[in-house]
A = this chain, B = another copy of it.
Amino acid sequence: MSRHSLPRQSLDFPAWYGEVVRRAGLAESSLVRGAMVIKPYGYAIWEAIQRALDERIKATGHENVYFPLLVPSTVFDRERELVEGFAPEVAVVTHAGGKKLEEPLVIRPTSEAVIWATYARWVQSYRDLPLLYNQWANVVRWELRPRLFLRTTEFLWQEGHTAHETEDEAMAEALRILHDVYADTAEQVLAIPVLRGRKSASERFPGAVETFAIEALMRDGKALQAGTSHYLGQKFARAYNVRFTDRSGKEQYAYATSWGASTRLVGGLIMAHGDDTGLRLPPAVAPYQIVIVPISSVDGGWTRVREASEGLAATLRAAGLRVRLDDREEIRPGFKFNEWELRGVPLRLELGERELEDGQATLVRRDTGAKERTSTDGVASRARELLAEIQRRLLEEAHAFRAEHTLENPKSYEVMREFLEAAGGLAIAPWCGSPTCEDRVKREARATIRCLPLQRVSIKARCIVCESLAVERATWSQAY
């Protein structure tokens, strides 16, 4: 594993991405086209993301549940917009138990259908509301252009499905998830700054009245939708007949939200922080926050530095850190440095013989490459300080990168088009609200509207595309 042969990020981003995923041992393609095998190191990152999301989902009052993988096709077919949105993507079970099934079963591409068909049994009165449920599950969507973590035919995610008495309450729920679960996890845990916004009609989830999303900028200048939260109005309640008696004794349809974040976040983590040397993992999600590399060049020295390294590993673990001791004797230190840099471990601790005698060790930061000597006595507290600093700095750096790659109020459509076509980043410009202008940007610059402001406030400006009166400011970008 030599870092010199990793493709340069700036020269061939897709090749860089693929090689980092492969060499860092995150995932690989499987025997079924488009589905991936998530390897131990990649899965450990996903587990850390899961924990962060799950904590926040529970802290905001939700409970976990589990609904079936397979949905009778007649149940799935009851929601017209859902079916139309997913028709080209579903996988269908036609045989089971050695027989042809009387009714085919759809593998869930998302679970609104099966969940709302069940909510019909659970909701009679306003007293049964709200239902605030989430599930951790796999879903299948047949992807034509699969890409590890970013678009796979099967992926892992959480999907929340809530039912409410009023539109206001459901809308507040959709926004609470956007802010307190998704944006908070992205920024505080993944160290990825995100825009929080509304989707245009063409980018909405099938069946949603309003789709909110967090959008992150990757280091190739493209945006990644990193989590979505939908206000679904009463569409699903009508399709699945979820009615309740309200406080005034009248029958009403319940108001719905749904929201999901997936293993795609692992892809976002790679592309938001990685550099030419490989991954750079924020300490909050790094499977190993610190790797210890013992170094000995003289005969008989190895045992001493290895034993001292074991002692330091125990000290650091006792301080609550996730530690990897790389004591492979046959592998040279320089090779180990490259390997753990590629795998993005935030801190490296080198322990050599001379240092050992002085009661010292060397700490090397993955984010900046900065080295420092530290006393082995105070190593745990210093490591903790540095990890906190790295977590902060990765977020700041990503913030700065986004600021440098944001074009606000481009002078002309031509300027914006060129910027977007070259994947220069995010362009923020007035838009008239018409799909025609949106389509033109998509066609001419391969860029879509990533988000619109959460609040609809009227502006005085002219559409960057057609120059008629604008209704709001849109953020455009090429996207994954």
Contacts and interface: CB of A to CB of B under 8 A. Distances in A.
A70 B97 contact: no
Identical chains in the assembly? 2
Contacts of A35: 68-70
Contacts of A31: 68, 71-72, 75, 114, 117-118
A88 interface: yes
Contacts of A90: 96
A69 B30 contact: no
Given A35-B70, A63-B40, A94 B97 contact: no
A422 interface: no
Interface residues of A, number: 51
B140 A37 contact: no
Interface in A133-162: 133, 137-138, 140, 142, 144, 153-154, 156
Contact of A69 (B47, B71, B140): B140
Contact of A93 (B39, B92, B138): B92
Contacts of A98: 87-88, 142
Interface string A90-108: 1111111110000011010
A30 B140 contact: no
A326 interface: no
A144 B98 CA distance: 12
B70 A91 contact: yes
B65 A133 contact: no
A140 B71 CA distance: 13
Contacts of A75: 31
A321 interface: no
B30 A43 contact: no
Contacts of A38: 65-66
Contact of A68 (B36, B63, B66, B118): B36
Given A92-B95, A96-B90, A97-B144, A118 B37 contact: yes
A63 B44 CA distance: 8
Interface string A58-95: 00000111111111100100000000000111111111
Contacts of A87: 98
14 contacts: A30-B118, A37-B67, A37-B68, A43-B63, A44-B63, A69-B69, A89-B97, A91-B96, A91-B105, A92-B94, A97-B142, A98-B142, A107-B107, A138-B138
Given A46-B66, A89-B97, 8 more contacts: A32-B72, A37-B68, A38-B66, A47-B64, A88-B97, A91-B97, A92-B95, A96-B140
